[in-house]
Amino acid sequence: MNVFPFLVAVWLLAVGLYGVVTSRHFVHLVISLSVMQASTYVLLLAVGYRTGAKAPVFADIPARSRIVDPVVQALTLTDVVVEATVSALLLALAVQAHKRFGTVDPDELGALRG
Amino acid sequence: MTALQAVALVLVAIGGGAVVFTREPPRQAVVASLFGVLLAVLFFLFQAPDVALSQITVGTVALPLMILLALAKIRQEEDS
Amino acid sequence: MVFLPAAVALVAGLVWAVTELPAFGHYTGAYGLTLQHVALGQRRATDIVSAVTFDYRGVDTLGEEFILFAAAVGCAILLRFQRDEEMAEAASDRAVARVERVRRPVRALSAALVAPAVVLGAYIVVHGHLTPGGGFQGGVILASATVLVYAGGQAVAFRRVSPEPVLELADGAGAAGFALVAIGGLIFGLAALQNFLPLGTQSQLLSAGMLPLLNLSVGIEVAGAVTLIVSEFVDQTLLRSRRR
């Protein structure tokens, strides 16, 4: 039971990877990529968790109470916003690819033409 | 690990599978938004309110919006 | 199928690695345990996650912010007007037709929610060092306020509410602001990104040194970048190719 969150993270990574590899639509690929990103968030937060500890905000709890690790939360929260914009970049790529080559199937977008 | 956290983890695992196995992108955008909400609940249960706030705003507003706009443009190109 | 054995090997390796981690709930990292005791006194910021993001690990946030900036610029470049496209004069007709297609309750609700969204976004940006929130979350909420205008069917009003020069200015100003505050440490004879403003008393708005400044610049930048990306996509749906 005490490795269950990590196993869920590995499952999300595997499922997302399967979705990326077997995708037939570029947008489906980008969304499966976001599932893979979610697996890293779950892993990071699970590593930093302490049983019985509170959230790392001292606004309303006494200054000496136990808190969960704030460093992994700092990493994850910037990551969430930034990966959304990177997904937007990939979607822009998909739109332009469709305009140029008329298809959104990743398997057919093989050769780069000038 | 509390029972709530276990339930949330199971829901997130099921949600991830649902997102990947929904093949049509318009439907997948909605399922991805729901997956985002489940993730945010999980983050709250892991005592991470900052991350949950980020996930709610990004995963339910920004990301599905960009997906649907890209799909609208692609379908527009196919129709014309 | 090459994928299946490779995937099985990868998953097996990951599961083996994961079982070697400390058990869930028994965090043993030294950094987090030290921060729990010293962060409040050293930084006078009650939101320790914001203190870590912008102060202790400010360098990582600088890098992340420039990734954001680069992604927004990349979207703007990729979705630029091609030579064989035009902003069709049918675009405004299409926008007007879209306004009529959207149902009235949706339009009313979207219009009513714009102002509260702006206020909420500003509140979360400004109180980033006191309560959960900060520049990143508040910036996305501010961007979603302009997106609500578009969702209410007002594609043309969306353009007027968020004109492109303003968005690019906001994006650039936010990124530059962060870099300037980082260099400010150098100007005052300390290390870069080191705190050079007075710390103040905790739980007040103007406390925690340069944290409010960094929150503000990140909030402006994220709002500008996300709105810029969304407006690029919206522009694309209003385009028509001259080839067809």
pLDDT tens-digit readout, C172-198: 888 888 888 777 777 777 776 777 777
Give the global pTM.
Answer: 0.88
CB contact under 8 A, B69 and C233: yes
Q: How many domains does chain C have?
A: 1
The proportion of chain B whose per-residue pLDDT surpasses 90, expressed as a percent, equals: 60
Residue C111 pLDDT exceeds 90: no
User: Cα–Cα distance between B33 and B37 in angstroms, integer?
Assistant: 7
Instruction: Report chain A residues whose CB lies below 8 A from the CB of C25.
Output: 2, 49-51
Instruction: Report chain B residues whose CB lies below 8 A from the CB of C141.
Output: 57
pLDDT band at C240 (very low <50, low <70, confident <90, very high): low
pLDDT at C236: 80
pLDDT at C2: 82
pLDDT at B38: 95
Q: Please tell me which of the candidates C7, C24, C137 has its beta carbon nearest to residue A46.
A: C24
pLDDT at A45: 92
- Beta bridge partners, C80, equal none
Higher local confidence (pLDDT), C97 or B76: B76
User: Cα–Cα distance between A110 and A106 in angstroms, integer?
Assistant: 7
Nearest CA in chain A to B38: A38
**What was the ipTM of the complex prediction?**
0.89
Indicate the range of B28-37, C14-23, C81-90 predicted with least confidence.
C81-90
H helix runs in chain C, sequence order: 3-19, 30-43, 48-51, 58-78, 90-101, 104-126, 135-151, 155-161, 164-187, 211-237
Q: Is C134 at the interface with chain B, CB within 8 A? A: yes
Indicate the range of A19-33, C49-63, C78-92, C205-219 predicted with least confidence.
C78-92
pLDDT digits (tens, 9 = 90+) for A22-77: 998 989 999 999 999 999 999 999 988 888 888 888 877 887 788 888 899 998 98
Q: How far is C154 from chain A (nearest CA, A)?
A: 22
pLDDT band at A99 (very low <50, low <70, confident <90, very high): confident
pLDDT at A50: 87
Nearest CA in chain C to A81: C136
Instruction: Report chain B residues whose CB lies below 8 A from the CB of C162.
Output: none
| C-beta atoms surrounding A11 within 10 Å | 20
pLDDT at A42: 93
Q: Please tell me which of the candidates A6, A46, A81 has its beta carbon nearest to residue C136.
A: A81
pLDDT at C244: 45
pLDDT digits (tens, 9 = 90+) for C117-175: 999 999 999 988 888 888 899 999 999 988 888 777 666 667 777 777 888 888 888 88
Nearest CA in chain A to B56: A80
pLDDT band at C21 (very low <50, low <70, confident <90, very high): confident
Kindly state the helix (H) or strand (E) to which residue C56 belongs, with its residue range. none
The proportion of chain C whose per-residue pLDDT surpasses 90, expressed as a percent, equals: 12
The domain in which residue B60 lies consists of: 3-79
CB contact under 8 A, C25 and B1: yes
Q: Please tell me which of the candidates B50, B53, B70 has its beta carbon nearest to residue C233.
A: B70
User: How high is the mean pLDDT of chain B?
Assistant: 90
> What average pLDDT does this structure show over C18-33?
83
Greatest mean pLDDT range, C39-43, C95-99, C219-223: C219-223
pLDDT at C121: 93
Nearest CA in chain A to B29: A31
Residue A7 pLDDT exceeds 70: yes
Residue C209 within any structural domain of the chain: yes
CB contact under 8 A, B25 and A46: no
pLDDT at C15: 92
pLDDT at C87: 60
The answer to whether the beta carbons of residues C50 and B54 sit under 8 Å apart is: no
Q: How far is A91 from chain C (nearest CA, A)?
A: 9
pLDDT band at B39 (very low <50, low <70, confident <90, very high): very high
Q: What is the 3-state secondary structure (H, E, C) of C186-204?
A: HHCCCCCCCCCCCCCCCCC
Residue C16 within any structural domain of the chain: no
Residue B11 pLDDT exceeds 80: yes
Nearest CA in chain B to A9: B13
Q: How many domains does chain B have?
A: 1
pLDDT band at B61 (very low <50, low <70, confident <90, very high): confident
User: Cα–Cα distance between C182 and C214 in angstroms, integer?
Assistant: 9
Residue C22 within any structural domain of the chain: no
pLDDT at A113: 58
CB contact under 8 A, B67 and A28: no
Q: Which value, in Å, is the radius of gyration of the alpha carbons in chain B? A: 15
Nearest CA in chain C to B62: C144
Instruction: Report chain C residues whose CB lies below 8 A from the CB of B47.
Output: none
Residue to substitute from B33, B57, B66, B78, interface C, most C β-carbons within 10 A? B57
Instruction: Report chain B residues whose CB lies below 8 A from the CB of C237.
Output: 69, 72-73, 76
Residue C242 pLDDT exceeds 60: no
* CATH number, span A4-53+64-101: 1.10.287
pLDDT at C165: 82
pLDDT at A89: 92
pLDDT at C86: 61
User: Cα–Cα distance between C111 and C113 in angstroms, integer?
Assistant: 6
Residue C219 within any structural domain of the chain: yes
Quote the Cα angle for B35-C126-C120, to 5°: 50
User: Cα–Cα distance between C23 and C26 in angstroms, integer?
Assistant: 6
